Structure 1
């Protein structure tokens, strides 16, 4: 993938970059990672971070799909990409967990960069002192805490002997609930990337290699004002080329299926830079785990320039989407009413 010269003259004119993100501990860590990366290449540019609480941070009791889904994480910050408001400064970019970033952004904004994909797999975190390592080891009827319809639908299919219950809160809150002796949870299912970034990788008991992960999971998405060429050139330097290819295809698949963070779409992707072959796998599982549809695509990606790369990734997602639709994926998605379905899960961590 072509990389812009990090010493581009346009970047040298910029003296300060205002980074925005959510106020959770994980979000702040992610913003700091982006700040450090920018300043590694552009030490002459000062970067500061605005950590802002959003409605999604404040509401911890009601499933997110009942009042706006993933747009809750973006709207308030996006306003500041347009202009300064009261005491809040104008932002140059917003750092998101890519899996929480809508595939359809308002026309004023764009995905400026995909940055640093950590391990995208889901992790099993057993209660402290547990003798068990894997879900298959747990006794029948054991309660597993999870937070997404994607996870729960696949887990119900793969581990029908277990019970899966929704659990909300940030990562530390969930871990505290798990370790409480009075709590019935035997383990939690969490994204490996979040645990690793918070320095909690030692809590990972094992990873779920048999569960397809969320679109964009483990990667960071940086949102910018549309056509901000100066910021875009700087972000080009820090992007993760392989993650960009994989995640663009994953997001194309989700967009084509009209899915969001609270639908049972799972993916698995890999890109071989030597052969330029992208492998994208997708699965749709009904919330009760009874119907499962999956397929995969292997395609060559033209990485000679950004436009051909984006085009090819988009087509891979669409082609896989068509294969899944032919097998009945759309029917599964159409039957899911995210405001009423009691099996639905809120946005995942």
Structure 2
């Protein structure tokens, strides 16, 4: 018998393929007896490039087609695991699926990208009415608080498409906002003009990390993933996801986070913000907690902070945003 094959699924975009191959390498380094193969699929979220995400559905747009293959009847098409950008994974997965693990996190920040020919170096440099390209309500809502004189316009497409739109001399955009991690994974770190931290903008839940989805209770895959996953990323991201789940927020609502875990002291610092779409109202808070049981304590930390923020008015802000979407 030859080596056993593991089928790894992911989206078809260039970045997603890089991410799937990264997980393939992690597994083959720890388990050289396995032969890993990457299977790619174009999801609905990849196909609809002309509308902002919040206007036509949630995170399942990136995951549903791939999930179907975890239980595929045809052994040649059946997946053993799916690699997601963790920020695209719903916090509640459908019955029969689970988040099997989280790999080492790349820089979770958002960043500013200016055109090649731009003389500007930061958002502070932009003139009144300058157009910032972003399709993220979380990003635009937070930046409106600090930069009410700027305009925010939707820009969709993969990273290369967005950069091409930005660099076009006829581009309406003075700059665009992207995740630092995506540029770093694609070898485009030189395009980062400025990184944002919580004093300007909190990043998305799970940003910069890869989440690996498996069939619920798949002991063999759990054993493999235990070897390739990262403690620090797991603690931070489980707490962030628990916060979002408690706030009942999806990818289309302005919830931002920042987390730091000290493995020596076992202390986790979690900060978060909920902002209304116009950036006029916000609830911001933070919590520090000792993490003794990784899964339980990390999730409890996120839940406690979310409940505190709800008591301070965060739920009211989110409910009003959802009502605006329905109108």
Using structure 1 for the length normalisation, give the TM-score.
Answer: 0.90
Give the whole-Å Cα distance in 1 for the aligned partners of 2:76 and 2:52.
Answer: 29
Quote the Cα distance in structure 2 between the aligned partners of 1:66 and 1:296. Answer: 30
Q: 1:239 maps to which residue? A: 229
Which of 85, 88, 94 is matched with 1:106 structurally?
94
1:15-30 paired onto structure 2 within 5 Å: 15-30=4-19
The answer to whether residue 30 in structure 2 is matched with residue 41 in structure 1 is yes
Match of residue 69, structure 1, among 52, 55, 58: 58
CA distance, structure 1, for counterparts of residue 37 and residue 76 of structure 2 = 12
Aligned mates of 2:323, 2:131 — CA distance in 1:
23
Match of 2:70 among 68, 81, 85: 81
Residue 337 of structure 1 is matched in structure 2 by 322
Q: Does 1:116 align with 2:116?
A: no
Partner of 2:262 in structure 1?
272
1:324 matched to 2:309:
yes
Higher relative contact order (CA 8 A, sep 6+): 1
CA distance in 2, matches of 1:295, 1:154: 15
CA contact (8 A) 1:29 1:198 kept: yes
In the alignment of these two chains, the number of paired residues is: 324
How far is the alpha carbon of 1:16 from its aligned partner?
1.3
Task: Confirm whether residue 253 of structure 1 aligns to residue 238 of structure 2.
Answer: no
- Closer, same or farther in 2 for the Cα pair 1:88/1:73, shift >3 Å? farther
Aligned-pair CA distance for 1:334: 0.2
User: How many angstroms apart in 2 are the aligned matches of 1:328 and 1:18?
Assistant: 45
Structure 1 gap segments, 5+ residues each: 1-12, 303-307, 343-349
Q: Is structure 2 residue 196 aligned with structure 1 residue 211?
A: no
Q: 1: CA distance between counterparts of 2:323 and 2:174?
A: 27
**Relative to 1, partners in 2 of residues 1:63 and 1:341: Cα closer, same or farther, differing over 3 Å?**
farther
The C-alpha deviation readout for 1:287-318, integer Å capped at 9, x for no partner, is 0000011000000000xxxxx32111111111
Deviation at 1:21, TM superposition (A): 0.4
Change (3 A) 1:121 1:92: same
Cα deviations by residue, 1:104-157 (Å, 9 ceiling, x for unpaired): 001200000101211000010001111111101111111010121100000000
1:197 equivalenced with 2:185 (yes/no): yes
1:94 aligns with 2:82: yes
1:131 and 2:157 aligned: no
Flag structure 2 segments of 5+ consecutive residues without an equivalent. Answer: none
Match of residue 176 from structure 1? 164
**Structure-1 separation of matches of 2:109 and 2:55:** 26
Q: Any conservation in 2 of the 1:80–1:88 contact (CA below 8 Å)?
A: no
Distance 1:256 1:338 in 2: 19
Q: Deviations over 1:139-186 (max 9, x none)?
A: 111101012110000000011121111111111100000001111101
Greater mean alpha carbon deviation, residues 293-302 or residues 64-73: 64-73
CA deviation string 1:68-96 (max 9, x = no partner): 221011111111101245x9610000000
Displacement of 1:43: 1.0
**CA distance in structure 1 between the partners assigned to 2:154 and 2:145 by the alignment:** 17
Partner of 2:49: helix, strand, or coil? Answer: coil
Q: Distance in 1 between matches of 2:90 and 2:158?
A: 20
SS at match of 2:322: coil
- SS of corresponding position for 2:220: helix
CA–CA distance in structure 2, aligned partners of residues 322 and 268 of structure 1: 17
CA RMSD of aligned residues (A): 1.6
| Structure 1 residue 19, shift from structure 2 partner | 0.1
Report the Cα offset of residue 62 of structure 1.
2.2
Question: Could you tell me how far apart the structure 2 residues matched to 1:339 and 1:148 are?
Answer: 16
**1:7 matched residue in structure 2:** none
Where does structure 1 differ by over 4 angstroms across 4 or more consecutive aligned residues?
none
